[in-house]
């Protein structure tokens, strides 16, 4: 909720970066047939538009001014036929472009989401959720607009402009030169406005991301905001961000409107020059009335795409800014997960590799492990810890001492800075991440539930785990309350599990761990957020969950871990004590003082 600097983002790059467009072409390549079809249609559309003023000239000079009505019907039918052909071709062009745009957006969203799912957890520590969501939604959506009225249609506009210039020069070079006298000024205006609008578009995208970040944070923490009566303060912060986003759009609107108005004025000046000079030529007999009318229509068609240039330039600039941000996200290094670790429809490893245990090696071993979230302070220093197969080890100590960090390093949510973590004698960094994480089940303090059925929340879509859903629920004692629900295992879970109690949500997370059948179990403050009654309800689930598994338990409540095989005291990033409950009480050190504080 601190948005003074409001997640400042880097805004840099060129207005049109060839490297970015070349990279973007990879996503368009699968649909090259549709793009080629559109490129073939564009010259035909341009030809239809070029033919219309010429047909009108023929009608005026050959029939209307001479009074010859014979053949005028044929010209009228030809004009109508060309209009119909242009309409049909334009429909095909727009349909194909927008279809390709939607497919490209779907492909990019798929790749972005897959990439985000594999980003290291440390990336999410400093990137606002709203910023990531913006890149997967509105940034990608801008690319659809680019296809609809941007990158390809500009080619059609260029063909039309080149055709108009050629026809006008062919019809009357002198009148054409008079008309084109405004083009140098038009080119200068377009170049100047391009420079002014470039930064404005990037600023708009950056401030939209900040606004989305704030909204995601505020809505996620709505209960805290209301309990502490901070609604007015949050409204003030939102109004600041909203005003900032509005103000960022104002320069875009100003330059857009100015460019449109200037082009409109230059178009009117060009028409006035044609009437002035062409009228004099008609009086002299050097020019026909049909040519003058055709020139006026050609000028209108010439300036129409230039008038639309501001809108198309807006779309292209927005798309370039969006592509910069999308590719910056895709370039963020992700965890390397070999594709052969998965099979279709399964979230776990494709094959279960038999694990050969050694009686002489601990199952888990931390050797001189050090780690820091920030450079200034270590979260762990020179940790040495061994856990044998089937052993239950508890980690205790003050908050922030490094207990949870140990579990995060074991699952490689974060990578260690120094030292080694071994799993049955093998460095965990040499194991593919899916293989490593498949062997470890985690139950967190705040159970994470997703929208969907209770069955889905237990198996998370994994087919192997789905087959064990009912058995897992029965083992941890969750089947009782689940079967009492109207739809049983198909009961829908509301957002964040708001239709379930804290204890029920925790039992579902226990059932999830059992369903995935891990050999190593990590309980990270699994009962810290529940009351005593709920804790009694889930103690049976915890005991069933730990049975036959190697367990690493992070706990504040010492009453829950007194029967652990070994208790390790973590104090200020270091291992201070280690032993059973009785041994540590006799030692009268850190653990003894923690026990006295809780039970005094």
Rounded CA-CA distance 433/342 in Å is 11
* 1-12 pLDDT per residue, tens: 444 333 334 444
* Dihedral, CA of residue 566, residue 570, residue 574 and residue 577, to nearest 10: -40
pLDDT at residue 366 above 50?
yes
Integer Cα distance of 324 and 327 in angstroms: 5
What CATH number does the domain located at 364-599 have?
3.40.50.300
φ, ψ of residue 552 in degrees (nearest 5): -125, 115
**Residues 521/549, Cβ–Cβ less than 8 Å:** yes
Whether pLDDT at 353 is above 60 = no
SS3 367: strand
Please tell me which residue, 359 or 568, carries the higher pLDDT value: 568
* pTM for this entry: 0.72
Contact 500, 484 (CB under 8 A): no
Neighbours of 531 (CB within 10 A): 12
pLDDT for the residue numbered 15? 47
At 94-139, the pLDDT tens digits run 888 888 888 998 999 999 888 888 888 878 877 777 777 878 888 8
Q: Residue 14 — pLDDT band, cuts 50, 70, 90?
A: very low
Percentage of the chain exceeding pLDDT 70 = 86
Q: Is the pLDDT of residue 339 over 50?
A: no
Contacts of 591 (CB under 8 A, 6+ apart): 396, 567, 569, 577, 584, 585
Residue 355 or residue 491, greater confidence = 491
User: Please, what is the end-to-end C-alpha distance for the chain in angstroms?
Assistant: 38
**pLDDT band (50, 70, 90) for residue 335:** low
Q: pLDDT grade, residue 564 (50/70/90)?
A: confident
Same fold, 18-330 and 364-599: no
Which of the residue ranges 83-97, 153-167, 578-592 would you say has the lowest mean pLDDT? Answer: 153-167
Residues in the chain: 600
- For the segment 524-557, what is each residue's pLDDT rounded down to a tens digit? 876 655 556 556 666 666 777 777 788 898 887 7
Q: What angle do CA 372, 374, 375 make, to 5 degrees?
A: 85
Q: What is the mean pLDDT of residues 189-203?
A: 70
**Residue 307 or 165, more confident:** 165
Ranked by mean pLDDT, the top range of 46-50, 208-212, 360-364 is 46-50
Residue ranges per domain, the chain?
A: 18-330, 364-599
| pLDDT: which is higher, 15 or 374 | 374
- pLDDT recorded at residue 507: 85
Whether the CB-CB separation of 521 and 552 falls below 8 Å is answered with yes
Residue 69 has pLDDT above 80, yes or no: no
Q: Report the distance separating Cα 137 and Cα 142, nearest Å.
A: 9
Assigned token pair, 558:
């010492």
- pLDDT at position 5, please? 36
Q: State pLDDT tens for residues 231-259.
A: 888 888 889 989 988 888 888 788 777 77
CB 423 within 8 Å of CB 385: no
Stretch 391-407: mean pLDDT, rounded? 87
**Mean of the per-residue pLDDT values for the chain?**
80
- Whether 13 shows a pLDDT value over 60: the answer reads no
Name the band, by pLDDT with cuts 50, 70 and 90, for residue 83. Answer: very high
* 273 pLDDT above the threshold of 70: yes
- Partner residues linked to 107 by β-bridges: none
Instruction: Give the chain's radius of gyration (CA, Å).
Output: 35
Instruction: Return the beta strands (E) in 278-379 as ranges.
Output: 364-371
pLDDT of residue 16: 55
CATH code at 18-330: 1.20.1560.10
Q: How many CA atoms lie within 13 A of 156 on its CB side?
A: 33
Q: What is the pLDDT of residue 12?
A: 41
Let me know: does 277 contact 230? Beta carbons within 8 Å. Answer: no
């Amino acid at each position: 909720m601190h948005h003074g600097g409001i997640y400042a983002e880097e805004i840099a790059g060129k207005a049109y970066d060839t490297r970015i467009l070349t990279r973007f072409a990879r996503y368009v390549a699968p649909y090259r047939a549709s793009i080629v079809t559109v490129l073939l249609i564009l010259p035909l559309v341009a030809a239809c538009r070029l033919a219309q003023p010429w047909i009108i000239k023929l009608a005026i000079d050959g029939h209307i001014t001479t009074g010859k009505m014979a053949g005028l019907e044929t010209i009228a039918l030809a004009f109508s036929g060309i209009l119909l052909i242009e309409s049909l071709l334009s429909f095909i062009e727009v349909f194909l472009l927008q279809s390709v745009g939607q497919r490209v957006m779907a492909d990019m969203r798929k790749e972005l989401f897959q990439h985000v799912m594999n980003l290291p957890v440390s990336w999410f520590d400093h990137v606002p959720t709203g910023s990531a969501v913006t890149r997967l939604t509105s940034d990608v959506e801008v690319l659809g607009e680019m296809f609809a009225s941007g990158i390809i249609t500009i080619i059609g506009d260029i063909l039309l402009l080149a055709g108009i210039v050629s026809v006008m020069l062919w019809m009357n070079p002198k009148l054409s030169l008079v008309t084109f006298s405004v083009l140098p000024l038009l080119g200068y205006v377009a170049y100047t406005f391009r420079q002014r609008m470039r930064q404005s578009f990037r600023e708009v995208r950056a401030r939209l991301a900040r606004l989305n970040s704030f909204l995601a944070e505020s809505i996620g923490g709505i209960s805290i905001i209301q309990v502490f009566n901070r609604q007015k303060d949050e409204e003030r912060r939102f109004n600041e961000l909203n005003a900032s986003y509005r103000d960022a759009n104002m320069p875009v609107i100003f330059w857009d409107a100015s460019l449109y108005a200037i082009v409109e004025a230059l178009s009117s000046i060009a028409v006035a020059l044609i009437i002035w000079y062409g009228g004099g030529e008609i009086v002299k007999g050097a020019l026909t009335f049909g040519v003058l009318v055709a020139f006026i229509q050609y000028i209108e068609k010439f300036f129409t795409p230039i008038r639309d240039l501001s809108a198309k330039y807006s779309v292209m600039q927005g798309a370039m800014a969006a592509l910069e941000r999308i590719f910056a996200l895709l370039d963020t290094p992700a965890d390397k997960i070999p594709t052969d670790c998965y099979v279709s429809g399964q979230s776990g490893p494709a094959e279960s590799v038999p694990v050969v245990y050694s009686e002489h090696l601990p199952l888990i071993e931390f050797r001189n492990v050090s780690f820091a979230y920030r450079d200034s302070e270590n979260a762990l220093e020179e940790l040495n810890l061994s856990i044998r197969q089937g052993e239950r080890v508890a980690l205790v100590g003050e908050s922030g001492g490094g207990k949870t960090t140990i579990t995060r390093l074991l699952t490689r949510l974060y990578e260690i800075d120094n030292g080694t973590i071994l799993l049955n004698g093998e460095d965990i960094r040499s194991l593919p991440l899916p293989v490593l994480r498949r062997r470890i089940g985690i139950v967190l303090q705040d159970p994470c539930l997703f929208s969907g059925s209770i069955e889905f929340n237990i198996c998370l879509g994994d087919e192997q785990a789905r087959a064990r859903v009912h058995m897992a629920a029965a083992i941890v004692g969750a089947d009782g309350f689940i079967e009492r629900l109207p739809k049983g295992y198909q009961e829908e879970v509301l957002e964040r599990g708001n239709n379930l109690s804290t204890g029920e949500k925790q039992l579902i997370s226990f059932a999830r761990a059992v369903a995935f059948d891990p050999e190593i179990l990590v309980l990270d403050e699994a009962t810290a957020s529940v009351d005593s009654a709920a804790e009694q309800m889930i103690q049976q689930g915890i005991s069933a969950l730990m049975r036959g598994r190697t367990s690493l338990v992070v706990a504040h409540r010492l009453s829950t871990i007194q029967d652990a095989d070994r208790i390790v005291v973590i104090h200020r990033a270091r291992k201070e004590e280690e032993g059973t409950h009785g041994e540590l009480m006799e030692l009268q050190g850190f653990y003894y003082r923690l026990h006295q504080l809780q039970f005094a």
